[in-house]
């Protein structure tokens, strides 16, 4: 074993158990719940919540909206979920630390110094590193981390640093040189490799720290990774870490920053000297901050960062794409309002024409409620007047020819009643079906279909053929609702306008007249013509003749007719007011909610999907806040 390896062994041993992260899990002397055991429970609870977040992401991604903007976001979420699967596979694997920096900044030299040996070609050509160098402990390989072995040069070393880490020396992002043996450009290979990395060693110099190309690649690569910023060439450059920190402040939390001399550190490592100065601080930082249980926390924190960034990007894209939805929803509302006015006017007109049907139903409802009282029987007789006349005619039949004439009359009357009832019940349906002309529906379809095309939603429900079917269904539903509404009004009027007081008044008025006539007849028949003579010897009065009964019949019929007129007129006024109230209630877009319902439903589903996505973003932010990284000096990309 080279002397540099023994030096690193002694350095790691001097750090104690905490170097590997095990010290924080020692069982406390007491069994209280405020020590490491409680932290472990909170950690497990957090893992369960992260799993729940992943399930919700899968559920959101399973909606499969036909909206192009949503489909693009579903592809992004699918790639995020693939990263989740990779995270689970690598949960117990060492952290992957990769270098990122421009040409000539000393990335390879820094990697050699960390390893203590020449494992990466450096300093001879520019750009030097073409095929990435994958440095790991024995027993590991790039396939463990989802990296194709043929895309990297694998170097295995048995070092303390590599027990918890894998180091990758990446190609330079600010060149486009081709490598005939490996294929592709440095930039393409770098972009393929970076998604597999957990921590990025961002290396720069005084000349390169403002490189636009490197900054762009850093912004793209930093999603879902922690960052360590290192300035090299300490032997010849000024310390510009504070200015570098200001340059990065808007987009990154920089954490600890290091200023090292790579060649000197490599020489000391080869000489067997322990790391010291800024390089020693970097080695100590890597050994302490990225080892043991910290690796799992870092991976989960990286994953939550990636979730937040991906979901936020999807939500912004969807919000931008929802701008055309508002005009579409307004157009649907406007066309529904116009068409509903026409429909309500036609149907209410037919209801006015068929008021007699509803009035008869109301009278029947009152008679049923009152049972077989005198006035209720009068109402039933009024309703069955035609049947009574027909029955009287049948009683006067004396010959077969008269019976045939009566049968013809009664059949015609029954057929007319059946047709009138059928026509009255279907008149509203016919009126609703014919309320809109083809021109009305076609105009509404063209307007809404144009807005639907601009919004990018499915237009199958806005074409004229579809709108015609929707209109037929909307008319049918409206008529059914109108019938149910008026039937409820009939039942309510029967309760309100035929209460006990109204019933008492009409029963008393009817019984009083009938009682007076009966009393007059009985007095004449029993007392005036018989009892008065026997009791007091008075002169008997003659019995009433036909004239009395004729006059009594006229009075009784007239009084009954007056009571019926008063009662039914009051009920009829109630029906008229109910139809007017129905018109006021039903006017508006809700009356024809079936028109353009598919487009409206898709708009509503899109907005609900965006709200769900915002909820997932809040959940990820909350979990990230709860994920304890302490006062970790690791850098990261700001949200």
pLDDT band at 326 (very low <50, low <70, confident <90, very high): very high
Q: Identify the pLDDT of residue 28.
A: 36
pLDDT at 120 over 60: yes
Residue 407 CB partners (closer than 8 Å, separation 6+)? none
Question: What value does the mean pLDDT of the chain take?
Answer: 77
DSSP string computed for 98-157: EEE--TTS-HHHHHHHHHTS--S--SSSSS---SPEEEE-TT--GGGGT--GGGSEEEE-
pLDDT at 24 over 50: no
Q: Which of 215, 209, 119, 213 is nearest to 169 (CA)?
A: 119
pLDDT at 545 over 90: no
130-144, 166-180, 331-345, 440-454: range with lowest mean pLDDT? 166-180
Tell me if 610 sits within 8 A of 314, measured CB to CB. Answer: no
510-513-515 Cα angle (round to 5): 100
Max distance between CA atoms of the chain, in angstroms, equals 161
Instruction: Report the SS3 class of residue 604.
Output: helix
β-strand pairing of 133-136 with 153-156 = parallel
Instruction: Report the SS3 class of residue 185.
Output: strand
Q: Identify the pLDDT of residue 328.
A: 93
Average pLDDT over residues 460-472: 88
The dihedral sign for the CA sequence 60, 66, 70, 72? positive
What the block records as the tokens of 14 is: 């001097």
How far apart CA 68 and CA 220 sit, in angstroms, is 24
What the block records as the tokens of 608 is: 């609900």
Average pLDDT over residues 134-155: 88
Phi and psi at residue 634, to the nearest 5°: -70, 140
Average pLDDT over residues 555-561: 88
Instruction: Report the SS3 class of residue 539.
Output: coil
DSSP structure class, residue 638: -
DSSP structure class, residue 526: I
How far apart CA 555 and CA 47 sit, in angstroms, is 93
Q: Identify the pLDDT of residue 420.
A: 55
Phi and psi at residue 503, to the nearest 5°: -60, -45
Q: Identify the pLDDT of residue 154.
A: 92
> C-alpha distances in angstroms, 30 versus 25, 26, 34, 35, 337?
14, 12, 10, 9, 73
What the block records as the tokens of 487 is: 């039937």
pLDDT at 257 over 80: yes
Q: Identify the pLDDT of residue 190.
A: 80
Tell me if 157 sits within 8 A of 115, measured CB to CB. Answer: yes
Q: Which residue has the higher pLDDT, 455 or 29?
A: 455
How far apart CA 533 and CA 524 sit, in angstroms, is 12
What the block records as the tokens of 412 is: 């015609």
Average pLDDT over residues 280-303: 82
How many Cα atoms occupy the beta-carbon half-sphere of 546 within 13 Å?
Answer: 0
Q: Identify the pLDDT of residue 333.
A: 92
pLDDT band at 134 (very low <50, low <70, confident <90, very high): very high
């Amino acid at each position: 074993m080279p002397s540099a390896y023994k030096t690193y062994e002694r350095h790691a041993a001097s750090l104690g158990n905490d170097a590997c992260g095990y010290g924080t899990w020692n069982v406390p002397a007491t069994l209280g719940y405020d020590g490491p055991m409680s932290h472990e429970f909170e950690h497990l609870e957090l893992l369960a919540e992260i799993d729940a977040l992943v399930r919700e992401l899968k559920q959101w991604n399973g909606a499969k909206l036909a909206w192009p903007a949503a489909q693009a976001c579903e592809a992004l979420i699918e790639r995020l979920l693939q990263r989740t699967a990779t995270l689970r596979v690598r949960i117990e694997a060492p952290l992957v630390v990769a270098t990122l920096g421009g040409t000539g900044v000393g990335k390879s030299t820094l990697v050699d110094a960390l390893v203590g040996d020449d494992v990466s070609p450096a300093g001879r050509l520019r750009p030097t590193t073409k095929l990435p160098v994958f440095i790991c402990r024995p027993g590991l390989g790039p396939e463990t981390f989802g990296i194709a072995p043929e895309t990297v040069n694998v170097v295995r070393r048995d070092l303390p640093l590599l027990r918890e880490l894998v180091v990758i020396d990446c190609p330079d992002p600010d060149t486009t040189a081709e490598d005939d043996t490996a294929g592709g450009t440095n930039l393409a290979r770098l972009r393929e490799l970076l998604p597999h990395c957990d921590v990025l060693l961002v290396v720069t110099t005084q000349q390169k720290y403002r490189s636009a190309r490197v900054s762009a690649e850093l912004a793209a690569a930093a999603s879902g990774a922690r960052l360590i910023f290192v300035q090299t060439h300490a032997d010849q450059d000024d310390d510009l870490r504070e200015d570098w920190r200001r340059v990065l402040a808007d987009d990154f939390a920089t954490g600890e920053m290091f200023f090292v001399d790579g060649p000197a550190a490599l020489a000391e490592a080869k000489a067997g000297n322990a790391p010291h100065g800024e390089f020693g601080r970097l080695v100590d930082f890597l050994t302490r901050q990225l080892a043991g249980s910290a690796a799992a926390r870092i991976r989960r924190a990286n994953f939550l960062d990636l979730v937040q960034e991906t979901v936020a990007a999807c939500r912004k894209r969807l919000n931008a794409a929802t701008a055309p939805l508002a005009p579409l929803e307004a157009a649907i509302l406007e066309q529904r309002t116009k068409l509903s006015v026409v429909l309500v006017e036609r149907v209410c007109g037919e209801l006015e024409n068929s008021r007699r049907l509803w009035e008869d139903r109301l009278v029947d409802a009152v008679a049923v409620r009152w049972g077989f009282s005198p006035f209720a029987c009068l109402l039933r007789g009024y309703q069955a007047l035609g049947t009574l006349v027909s029955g009287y005619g049948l009683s006067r039949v004396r010959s077969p020819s008269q019976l045939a004439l009566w049968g013809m009359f009664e059949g015609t009357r029954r057929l007319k009643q059946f047709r009138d009832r059928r026509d009255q019940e279907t008149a509203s349906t016919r009126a609703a079906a014919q309320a809109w002309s083809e021109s009305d529906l076609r105009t509404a379809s063209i307007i809404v279909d144009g807005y639907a095309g601009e919004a990018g939603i499915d237009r199958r429900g806005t074409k004229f053929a579809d709108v015609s079917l929707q209109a037929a269904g909307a008319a049918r539903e409206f008529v059914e609702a109108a019938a149910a509404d008026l039937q409820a009004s009939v039942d309510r009027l029967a309760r309100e306008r035929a209460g006990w007081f109204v019933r008492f008044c009409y029963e008393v008025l009817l019984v009083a007249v009938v009682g007076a006539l009966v009393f007059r007849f009985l007095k004449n028949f029993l007392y005036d013509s018989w009892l008065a003579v026997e009791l007091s010897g008075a002169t008997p009065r003659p019995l009433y003749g036909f004239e009395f009964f004729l006059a009594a019949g006229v009075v009784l019929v007239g009084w009954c007719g007056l009571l019926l007129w008063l009662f039914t007129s009051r009920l009829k006024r109630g029906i008229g007011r109910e139809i007017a109230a129905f018109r006021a209630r039903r006017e508006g877009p809700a009356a024809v909610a079936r028109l353009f319902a598919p487009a409206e439903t898709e708009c509503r589903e899109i907005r609900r999907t965006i709200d769900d996505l915002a909820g997932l973003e809040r959940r990820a932010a909350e979990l990230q806040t709860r994920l304890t990284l302490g006062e970790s000096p690791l850098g990261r990309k700001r949200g």
